[in-house]
Amino acid sequence: MFDLPYNAPARPTPQPGTPATPTPATPTNPAPSQEVLPAWAEESIRQVIEWGVMTGYEDGTWRPNQAVTRAEMASVLVRFYNFIRSGR
């Protein structure tokens, strides 16, 4: 949408006994059913997805409790700035 490349974060090597990776999301359901979005943030998460400002991870997860990297924040800020300038 904004011609920004997506650079996937390095995936850690699974350790024996760790749970399986969640099922990827579909375009109509950005968060897999196994992933619980905090009730207080769910509406905001759905809104930034609708605006195209945030899209979640390549595997379809949202990971609401994971820290944001500086690179991810830079991408979000650029997308949000462009969203505001578009006047939508």
Q: Are 27 and 52 in contact, with CB atoms under 8 Å apart?
A: no
Q: Which domain holds residue 71?
A: 39-86
pLDDT of residue 6: 56
Give me the phi and psi of 26, to 5 degrees please: -105, 165
> Could you tell me the pLDDT band of residue 28, with boundaries at 50, 70 and 90?
very low
* Within-domain flag for 1: no
Is 2 contained in some domain? no
C-beta of residue 52 within 8 angstroms of C-beta of residue 1: yes
Please count the structural domains in the chain: 1
Residue 62 maps to a domain: yes
CB 45 within 8 A of CB 19: no
Domain for residue 76, yes or no?
A: yes
- Is pLDDT of 7 > 80? no
pLDDT band at 5 (very low <50, low <70, confident <90, very high): low
For 36-47, the three-class secondary structure string (H helix, E strand, C coil) is: CCCHHHHHHHHH
Residue 80 belongs to some domain of the structure: yes
Q: What is the tens place of the pLDDT at every residue in 43-77?
A: 998 899 899 899 888 888 889 999 999 999 999 99
